[in-house]
Amino acid sequence: MTKSQTMNTWTLWLPGGRLGVMYGVKSVVIFNRKDCWGWITVRQEKRALTLCEVEVYVQEQDSTPEPLINVAPAGRAYQTSTSLGGEASRAIDGLTFTHWKGDSCTLTQPGNKTQWRVDLEGWEVGVKYPVERVVMYNRADSKQERINNTAVWVGDFLCGTITYKEGENMYFVECGGRRGSTVSLTLDQGILSVCEVQVVMKSRNIPRIPTYTNVALGREASQGHNSAKNAGRAVDGNTSGKIRSNSCTWSETSNSGDGTWWRVKLDQGTVVRSVVIVNRMDAFSQRINGVQVWVGDVERSG
């Protein structure tokens, strides 16, 4: 039973409904109270809403939709900047609190080309997921309109763009099984804030994650051109994309025309499957453009 107010609503989320599972509902049966008067519906204005039972009937073939799963929590999240402790990881913590005080919403600083991204499990070795849809929980306490015009991407494929609707805090963007290793939210200008991002796919399509080892972790690293001795930061296991985390390398600009370099020493005969570079997310991200990656002995200067 609800309190009497202008508009009362009772909602039943069917299994998987919050991930976008759709049911072919044929009828809804409502058992009304027999000891009170009045016209009662599931959504009622200016009257207390009370229900004793709600039954939802579907045809047999519609009653067991294909299971869906949210694969985002197993990934790693990043964003271009962070404000007031609204870390990127909050959007994949499994909590769907939509109020800032719940400590489960992200928040970036204002800027251009703002981005939030999750790298799905196995992305570093090229594993791709067929994403059916992306579900976003928007803030419900204030500043809800910030989500307007947020673009949703699987890899470099644009699934769609969100149009803000007053009073709506869940947004479903269909991706149609597009395959990718990352899911991103981008905003051309403004502040990006979400409370949860769910990357939904069919459970039968979950890819196998091969077992690989990061053999660069903690190994001897070096770099040239009068750089500070910070080459080891690139193999310290910290994947933060922010310079203030003291986990990003840097070198001085080379004026000799032979370029700058960084290297890590591996054991002889190591067979390399892939090389993953975590770029800066806070500023100067364009510096990575044109960087070449080599395996084996390469001539270097500096």
> What is the overall mean pLDDT for the chain?
84
Selection from 193, 188, 192, 194 nearest residue 112 by Cα: 188
Alpha-carbon span 15 to 138, nearest angstrom: 21
What is the structure's pLDDT at 151? 98
Selection from 122, 173, 154 nearest residue 19 by Cα: 173
Please give the residue that has the higher pLDDT: either 302 or 188: 188
Arithmetic mean of pLDDT, 122-139: 94
Residue keyed to tokens 């890899």: 155
What is the structure's pLDDT at 58? 60
Give percent above pLDDT 70 in the chain.
Answer: 79
Please give the residue that has the higher pLDDT: either 229 or 302: 229
CATH architecture of the domain with residue range 68-205: Sandwich (2.60)
The full set of domain ranges for the chain reads 7-62, 68-205, 213-302
Please give the residue that has the higher pLDDT: either 301 or 200: 200
For the chain, the three-class secondary structure string (H helix, E strand, C coil) is: CCCCCCEEECCCCCCCHHHCCCCCEEEEEEECCCCCCCCCCCEEECCCCCCCEEEEEECHHHCCCCCEEECHHHCEEEECCCCCCCCHHHHHCCCCCCCHHHCCCCCCCCEEEEEEEEECCCHHHCCCEEEEEEEEECCCCCCHHHHCCCEEEECCEEEEECCCCCCCCEEEEEEEEEEECEEEEEEEEECCCCCEEEEEEEHHHCCCCCCCCCCCCCCCEEECCCCCCCHHHHHCCCCCCCHHHCCCCCCCCCCCCCCCCEEECCCCCCCCCCCCCCCCCCCCHHHHCCCCCCCCCCCCCC
Alpha-carbon span 225 to 70, nearest angstrom: 46
Q: How confident is the model at residue 11 (pLDDT cuts 50, 70, 90)?
A: confident
Tens digits of residue pLDDT in 181-199:
999 999 999 999 999 999 9
What is the structure's pLDDT at 213? 87
Lowest mean pLDDT among 107-111, 153-157, 278-282: 278-282
Selection from 263, 265, 232 nearest residue 246 by Cα: 232
Arithmetic mean of pLDDT, 245-263: 78
Arithmetic mean of pLDDT, 20-35: 62
What is the structure's pLDDT at 302? 47
Please give the residue that has the higher pLDDT: either 1 or 150: 150
Q: How confident is the model at residue 274 (pLDDT cuts 50, 70, 90)?
A: confident
Alpha-carbon span 65 to 112, nearest angstrom: 41
What are the helix and strand counts (H, E) for the chain?
Answer: 0, 15
Tens digits of residue pLDDT in 56-86:
666 665 556 678 999 999 999 999 999 999 9
Alpha-carbon span 166 to 189, nearest angstrom: 20
Q: Decide if pLDDT at 51 tops 60.
A: yes
Selection from 104, 72, 90, 16 nearest residue 199 by Cα: 72
Q: Decide if pLDDT at 32 tops 70.
A: no
Alpha-carbon span 126 to 10, nearest angstrom: 44
Lowest mean pLDDT among 47-51, 93-97, 100-104: 47-51
Tens digits of residue pLDDT in 230-244:
889 999 988 888 788
Q: How confident is the model at residue 281 (pLDDT cuts 50, 70, 90)?
A: confident
Q: How confident is the model at residue 36 (pLDDT cuts 50, 70, 90)?
A: very low
What is the structure's pLDDT at 299? 61
Q: Decide if pLDDT at 27 tops 70.
A: no
Alpha-carbon span 78 to 285, nearest angstrom: 13
What is the structure's pLDDT at 38? 32
